[in-house]
Amino acid sequence: MNKKFPILEYDSTRIAFIEPSKVIAPLDMPEFCVICFFKDAIDKVVTEHNAKVLVTDYWEDGPHPIYEIQYCDKRLAFFHPGVGAPLAAGLLEKVIAYGCRKFMVCGGCGVLDKHMTVGS
């Protein structure tokens, strides 16, 4: 190990130690997916764009539907990741195993760009 913290090491291994795709079959999923922490925004898009449910995952807190709409002539998946990192990470792993490959996340807890200020 060259770095002080193992998480900073580059791992060229393509297969994870715990690999979701070994137990989750791929589905006909869009390549692009938006993960949105704002439930009201999800509900609005579902209603206004007649979103269809691709699959619903059931967790201890209830159902978590993965939706699809057409946007700019592309298929777009989106979902609410629930509350808490374990649930959000678990849903992300499942959506990757289902077939989504490119993601954008919308939330309200800040950004990784130190030049961004609150409200900008």
Looking at residue 120, what is its pLDDT? Answer: 65
d(CA 36, CA 89): 13
Nearest to residue 33, comparing CAs of 106, 100, 108?
100
Query: Each residue of 48-105: pLDDT tens digit?
Result: 999 999 999 999 999 999 999 999 999 999 999 999 899 999 999 999 999 999 999 9
- Greatest mean pLDDT among 22-26, 51-55, 104-108 lies in 51-55
**Dihedral through CA 104, CA 48, CA 76, CA 119, nearest 10?**
-10
- pLDDT given for residue 112 in this prediction: 77
Model confidence at 25, pLDDT cuts 50, 70, 90, reads very high
